[in-house]
Structure 1
Amino acid sequence: MSNRKSDDGDDYKFLRIVDAMASINQKVNLIGVITEIGIPKQSRGTDCCCTIKIVDESNASSGISVNFFAASFEKLPHVESAGDIIQLVRVVMKCHGSGVNVVFDKKFSSFALYEGSEGSKFVPYQVSAKFQASDRDNKFIAGLRKWTLSNRPETASSDSLSLKEIKQGQQTNLICKVLHVCEVKDGELMLFVWDGTDVPPVNIHTKLDDEFEKPLPLQLEATPLSRNILCKFPTVGTVLRMTNGKCNEKLGLHLLKAGKWVHFRNITFEVRSGLWCGVLLSKSKFSLLPDDDDYTLERLRINKERAKCKWDRKPYTCFPWPSKITDTDRQDVPFVTLMDILTHPEVIAKFRCVVRVVAIAPGHPKDFKAPCGTYRLRLTLEDPTARIHAYLYAEDGVKFFGGNPSIATMIKMRNALLGVEETDKKPRNPPWVECCLTSYNIDEIDLWGSIRYRIFDTTLLG
């Protein structure tokens, strides 16, 4: 591209990618547009490593991979968005299988990261320890920014799924927004991601008789997220948990920032305790999408319309209407999601929602009443946004079961509500039903930490 003098007097130049690929085992200097970032991970030795894919005008379709090695995750490139520009100094071209890639050696290589949008400053937002900037680099950065205006690297892939399309065990790509990153065990991080759609409902395999001893969990993490964090989540659409699964490598997931839209590649999905979980693999990669990416703007537009419509907060899979095995006395009240309920600004409030009853305790109708004859049950409710416990007590139980039916009748009613087949040994597939919930607190001092939910004004029709 051009020759210039380095500070130590050695002549060097930025090579086009297509020219660099012919310079095997040589140290070269490159500048390119970032299209893809591998998940940072601990290498087999003591280093941390990641792979970045770059393109330029000489190789806009396939580009080339750059393998980085550093002493810590923090010293690896922290790319803020696909389309940003990276300047690489004294990197080595290596043959890899039938192709060629670039190796960044921590001993002598250096890099700098720049925003990719035209009009941005020529000040890098991250540089490595050995990097030395020059004003003469600016024309190359400006040239790439101008080139990307009409040759913008493809970010959203046509083979990417939305959360409503995922399947268990399927390896695929996903475009979503990272809402939160936290440590759930020693060294194990969990991502909370969202795209505005609802994950499909799944069968429940736990036994009803085990609900007291081994209750169905409300979330996959051992400690539930705080209310302050939940209040920052969208109230429509599934917030999916994503972990590194059985990957033995230490992944640098802490480098992912909340609020960023990400294109994940080569991830899979599992069902754990009836809850969907995304699983990152050692070969997973991602691209951080720019804020003006067409796909993300479309997803935000659709979600805004859905959240704004007071009658459109039902789960996707219950349309056109939930099962008619329940009825409520508040047909004029709009539906809300369970996340709406969890983040409601008032401690005591009343709601109407569409849920699945995935567990009940006690499990057998003969135990639904206390010795004094009062109904006392705990139901586990879920919708695409959350899972909660809700209690059915006293006169609300009488209303729910339509009085005091026989045990045989209650077994049929329970089976219809929970999707139980003729035997409890088969997985349950609970139908979507509507119900009314009210919130209350059991501790006047710790209001938010002691909120409970109770079913009322709801009748199980059988």
Structure 2
Amino acid sequence: MAKKRDSPKLIKIKDAIKLINQEVSLIGIVLEQREPKQCRNNDWICTLRIIDDTYPSPGLTVNVYSRTLEQLPQIKNHDDMILFTRIKAQRVFIFLVCFVEEILHADEDTSAVFVWDGTDAPPASILAKLDSTLSISYAYSSSIWCTMFSSLSVHTLLSRDVLLSFPTVGTILRVHLSSHLFYRVKPGDWVKLYHLLCEVDRGSWVINVTSSTKVHHIAQDDRLVEKIMRMYDKRLSSKLGHISFWCFPSPPGLTGCKN
């Protein structure tokens, strides 16, 4: 009789996402569930987003596959707890068409590039422990806050004038990369960035490059650029104003200021 395999040790989500392609077990609270879909091979898939105390935002996306619809997890409430055993974490690479807002050179080999593509990243939390009994949490998406809780180092602090020049709709992303990849790129350029990793670093959405990351210039009249600008102009003229796509239903009122 074959010996039954022991399940991997139960770990937290924050630790699980670091164990790429390794089997792990974890427990999470269901934050979001998408409608099940049938795959081309007739299997079924549903996508869940789960959180725990170590990874409250943005949460871990889990794709669950099964032979039948009935075998998929039966989630009744969005705060249900779910146990996964022998699942594998995989890195998801992204592709961006974006506008280069600002470039800061930390040293001869490394640059911090701030880019924009008109879309909204989900809110990210900044957790800063002030003492043994008090912690403060901030959430933001379309702005970069230069405060004591920010992950921006002294080399990447942006002046107030630069921050005010950024678009007021859409998320500004910070890209860390080797200077040789951006040696021909300057603020005001449109570029395509291939094979990137996106993650939350102390409350900031940050793009990290990989060994296969590539940077290509694109023209102002490229169809993708024109599409981004059309969407941007449409959002500016919308009655919803500058409210992020993820902020629905919208809050009863926002306090604004000139600068």
TM range (shorter): 0.5 to 0.7
Q: Deviations over 1:425-452 (max 9, x none)?
A: xxxxxxxxxxxxxxxxxxxxxxxxxxxx
3-state SS of paired residue (1:198) = coil
When residues 177 and 257 of structure 1 are mapped into structure 2, their CA distance, relative to the original with a 3 A threshold, is: same
Higher relative contact order (CA 8 A, sep 6+): 2
Aligned-residue sequence identity (percent) comes to 32
Matching residue's letter, 2:169: V
Check the 8 A contact 1:182/1:191 in 2, yes or no.
yes
Aligned pair partner of 2:119 in 197, 213, 219: 197
Partners of 2:135 and 2:184 in 1: how far apart?
38
**Structure 1 residue 227 corresponds to structure 2 residue 160:** yes
When residues 197 and 280 of structure 1 are mapped into structure 2, their CA distance, relative to the original with a 3 A threshold, is: same
Partners of 2:152 and 2:248 in 1: how far apart?
27
Following TM superposition, by how much is the alpha carbon of 1:289 offset from its aligned partner in structure 2, in angstroms? 1.3
Structure with the larger helix share: 1
**TM-score, L = length of structure 2:** 0.53
3-state SS of paired residue (1:267) = strand
Aligned twin of 2:196: 267
Check the 8 A contact 1:176/1:261 in 2, yes or no.
yes
When residues 250 and 185 of structure 1 are mapped into structure 2, their CA distance, relative to the original with a 3 A threshold, is: closer
**Structure 1 residue 316 corresponds to structure 2 residue 245:** yes
Partners of 2:114 and 2:159 in 1: how far apart?
14
Partners of 2:149 and 2:108 in 1: how far apart?
20
Root mean square deviation, CA, Å: 2.9
3-state SS of paired residue (2:106) = strand
When residues 185 and 310 of structure 1 are mapped into structure 2, their CA distance, relative to the original with a 3 A threshold, is: farther
**Structure 1 residue 170 corresponds to structure 2 residue 92:** yes
Check the 8 A contact 2:126/2:149 in 1, yes or no.
no
Matching residue's letter, 1:178: V
Partners of 1:311 and 1:335 in 2: how far apart?
14
Check the 8 A contact 2:151/2:201 in 1, yes or no.
no
When residues 309 and 218 of structure 1 are mapped into structure 2, their CA distance, relative to the original with a 3 A threshold, is: farther
Following TM superposition, by how much is the alpha carbon of 1:206 offset from its aligned partner in structure 2, in angstroms? 4.1
Partners of 1:253 and 1:174 in 2: how far apart?
15
Aligned pair partner of 2:173 in 227, 240, 262: 240
Aligned twin of 1:128: none
Check the 8 A contact 1:265/1:284 in 2, yes or no.
yes
Partners of 2:233 and 2:249 in 1: how far apart?
20
Following TM superposition, by how much is the alpha carbon of 1:236 offset from its aligned partner in structure 2, in angstroms? 1.3
3-state SS of paired residue (2:208) = strand
Partners of 2:240 and 2:228 in 1: how far apart?
19
Q: Deviations over 1:292-317 (max 9, x none)?
A: 11111111011112123353311211
Q: Deviations over 1:326-384 (max 9, x none)?
A: x7xxx5xx665xxxx5xx35xxxxxxxxxxxxxxxxxxxxxxxxxxxxxxxxxxxxxxx
Segments of structure 2 that go 5 or more residues without pairing to the other structure are 1-60, 62-89, 137-146
Check the 8 A contact 1:176/1:194 in 2, yes or no.
yes
Matching residue's letter, 1:241: R
Check the 8 A contact 2:199/2:206 in 1, yes or no.
yes
Q: Deviations over 1:37-93 (max 9, x none)?
A: xxxxxxxxxxxxxxxxxxxxxxxxxxxxxxxxxxxxxxxxxxxxxxxxxxxxxxxxx
Check the 8 A contact 1:264/1:287 in 2, yes or no.
yes
Check the 8 A contact 2:198/2:207 in 1, yes or no.
yes
Aligned twin of 1:87: none
Segments of structure 1 that go 5 or more residues without pairing to the other structure are 1-166, 346-462
Partners of 1:188 and 1:196 in 2: how far apart?
25
**Structure 1 residue 188 corresponds to structure 2 residue 110:** yes
Following TM superposition, by how much is the alpha carbon of 1:252 offset from its aligned partner in structure 2, in angstroms? 4.0
**TM-score, L = length of structure 1:** 0.31
Partners of 1:298 and 1:207 in 2: how far apart?
42
Matching residue's letter, 2:152: L
When residues 282 and 290 of structure 1 are mapped into structure 2, their CA distance, relative to the original with a 3 A threshold, is: same
Partners of 2:108 and 2:189 in 1: how far apart?
25
Matching residue's letter, 1:255: R
When residues 310 and 216 of structure 1 are mapped into structure 2, their CA distance, relative to the original with a 3 A threshold, is: farther
Q: Which has the larger radius of gyration?
A: 1
Partners of 1:218 and 1:202 in 2: how far apart?
12
Matching residue's letter, 1:235: T
3-state SS of paired residue (1:234) = coil
